Amino acid sequence: MSITWESQQQQPPQTQEFSVDPIINQKVKTAAQGLQKSIQNYFLEFPTEKDKELETMAKARIQKREAEQQIKEAQARIQEAEEEQLRKLEEEEV
């Protein structure tokens, strides 16, 4: 049985970053060097580009829900203000 390495598709390496700040990345790598290999993996398995995209999408969904909630609250306040104005007008007419 032979393995042909040429036939396998090579994907570009994923960016392995813990933070946007390269100094923080270096500090994490340096701190993890003194740990056992199995423990180092927990620190050195940084999010991939796909992970970052998923996180961005999740944050966008959360922001959308928060904005929708704020709109509902604003609409409720507007309705309350309109009702209050109507009450005042009715009281003035009486």
Q: How many separate domains does the chain show?
A: 2
* Residue 16: per-residue pLDDT: 58
pLDDT in tens, 25-80: 788 777 777 777 777 777 666 677 888 888 899 999 999 999 999 999 999 999 99
Residues 6+ apart with CB under 8 A from 31: 43
Tell me, yes or no, whether 53 and 87 share the same domain: yes
Tell me, yes or no, whether 64 and 91 share the same domain: yes
* Residue at token pair 């009486």: 94
Tell me, yes or no, whether 34 and 54 share the same domain: no
Structure tokens at 4: 């042909």
* Residue 80: inside a domain: yes
Tell me, yes or no, whether 63 and 78 share the same domain: yes
* Residue 2: inside a domain: no
DSSP letters of 14-82?
PP--SSSSHHHHHHHHHHHHTS-HHHHHHHH----HHHHHHHHHHHHHHHHHHHHHHHHHHHHHHHHHH
* Residue 85: per-residue pLDDT: 95
